[in-house]
Structure 1
């Protein structure tokens, strides 16, 4: 009886710690969108055609959203289809998926793949894009940033944000995308930068992944006890800002009603075994803010410079 009460109390603490600091509704209501055109694997030689095809797909989704009466979605899509935008893929259905390139992917020797956390969707895409642009500007020449919104992220006030369920579905898609990227850019050094719930996705995708770095930032945990359980040759990094509320989340895993609540070991702890980096005093949503210590550190990781003597 005491054990059951303890588990229930811990579950309540996890829920309160994740939900209480956040405001906002759950994911967006379903908005009709066309089935995307099948474009095949990413190939450098066909990038311009791919970008143009996805621009037309976004335009078609904008028209359908407007006819549906969702002006907010239509406005977001209108911004996304600008001539300077470069999408490797786009799917407006079921909350939306989008993979966007910042920089010259064909010439890049260092590539950062950003994997977002909860409440990232087509309506909030501008926030995700701002971080990608800031990282792109931080990096040197012959680098590219890819914003990978390749899964339906959980809402910050939804029960899915407390379990690995969404991550389990997203991880195979992320792994497949990285394999495509390896084939298309075989000489590039690829780093995954995984924010908040995105770190759970990256951890699930890590086994056998051909990447130089897996960077966990603002992470609630990964669902694994230590970095060795990720079974990856990549260097696993972890960082957390001094003002990030995620540091107050209990690092537990609790079996409850047929699922497991929480993500276990703190990734910045010595027990987890990741290499830590300076994230300064940023808050949970500020890691990629221009001028932040976290942005500088992650830029150095992407370019293979972090940990070297100056």
Structure 2
């Protein structure tokens, strides 16, 4: 059995390596954008302070839109035009290298419950609409006194690439996520904060987890975390894990192999009893359906963020 899984993982690596030149034909990072403005650290969640930060980044988004238009990339320009809507709120925006953002959905100044969404592979400014839609759906499910922060603070790997099988991108992203969460808890010390980590985003969250002041760490659609047990994440947060029955990530071999060029795979399946996370029902959707309106997974993610018990699943010690 182990030999078969080894061969499957190596076959996936070879497939990704062959697919790389094709999938990389139109790279999101190739679209130019100006450097973001240098802003002082945000030290308050008061409405005036937040509004000033949102306005500064809105100006940056508009500048990036103009740069994309000059470059002739209509798709990127259209995405940025939507993001520059006066009703949208960004704590972070950098249009370079595929994009870095942190968008607030809801009223952060009044929020008592905050969910930070960390996305997986193939998330960039060009595909940002679906990430934003998931944040909006979760915010609606949570109701008043809640905010959702859609954090795209790293260059995500492409699904068909060797980077999606290693933790290199996660190693670069984890300090960024940890710093962001630290600053967020600094301006909202009394809020209940949950980290919701999808797919490759769960690898990022796992590396960032030690020392983070979050109540819940939720891994969904996860290929693994790079650790063998939830206890190895070194977090005081309650660790949750779930996978929908239609999620293709169930077919990923849960191994971690040391090869001459690096380590491939992410180890123990987070939804297994051996990993030791608390489980919940994630419904029957596919890999991209966890935040779909009306879904069981969305309802249970909202329950966790709100501090109530989700339905279904095993609860491990």
Q: TM-score, normalised by structure 2?
A: 0.91
Per-residue deviation, residues 42-96 of structure 1 (Å, max 9, x unmatched) = 3313100000000000000111111111111111111110010000010000111
Task: Quote the residue 2:40 is aligned against.
Answer: 40
The runs of at least 4 consecutive aligned structure 1 residues that moved more than 6 Å come to 5-8, 16-20
Give, in angstroms, the shift of residue 140 of structure 1: 2.4
Q: Which moved more, 1:10-19 or 1:171-180?
A: 10-19
Match of 1:196 among 199, 217, 221: 199
Is the contact made by 2:153 and 2:176 (CA closer than 8 Å) also made in structure 1?
yes
**Which residue does 2:82 correspond to in 1?**
79
Asked whether the equivalents of residues 141 and 299 of structure 2 are also in contact (C-alpha less than 8 Å), the reply is: yes
Q: How much does 1:28 deviate?
A: 1.9
SS across alignment from 2:68 = helix
1:180: Cα distance to partner? 0.4
Q: Unpaired runs of 5+ in structure 2?
A: 312-317
Distance 1:93 1:290 in 2: 31
Confirm whether residue 274 of structure 1 aligns to residue 277 of structure 2. Answer: yes
Secondary structure of the residue aligned to 1:87 is: strand
Partner of 2:91: 88
- Counterpart contact for 1:112–1:144, Cα < 8 Å: yes
2:314 equivalent in structure 1: none
Runs of 5+ in structure 1 lacking a partner? none
Count of residue correspondences: 303
- Secondary structure of the 1:90 match is strand
Provide, for residues 218-260 of structure 1, a one-character-per-residue CA deviation record: whole Å limited to 9, x for no partner.
0000000000000000000001000001011110011123211
- Cα separation, 1, equivalents of 2:17 and 2:278: 28
Task: Name the residue aligned to 1:145.
Answer: 148
The secondary structure found in structure 1 opposite 2:211 is: coil
CA–CA distance in 2 between the matches of 1:17 and 1:242?
25
Matched residues in 1 for 2:87 and 2:181: separation?
24
Q: Determine the structure 2 residue equivalent to 1:11.
A: 9
Q: Is the 8 A contact 2:5 2:253 kept in 1?
A: no
1:251 aligns with 2:249: no
Query: Quick check: 1:69 aligned with 2:69?
Result: no
Aligned residue number for residue 185 of structure 1: 188
Kept in 2, the 8 Å contact 1:7–1:254? The answer is no
State the SS of the aligned residue for 1:94: coil
1:172 maps to 2:170: no
Within the candidate set 151, 154, 157, 2:157 is matched to: 154
| Cα root mean square deviation, aligned | 2.1
Distance 1:6 1:305, change over 3 A: closer
The answer to whether residue 83 in structure 2 is matched with residue 97 in structure 1 is no
Three-state SS of the structure 1 residue aligned to 2:10 is: helix
Q: Return the offset for 1:38.
A: 1.7
**1:221 counterpart = 2:189:** no
- What TM-score do you get using the length of structure 1 for normalisation? 0.93
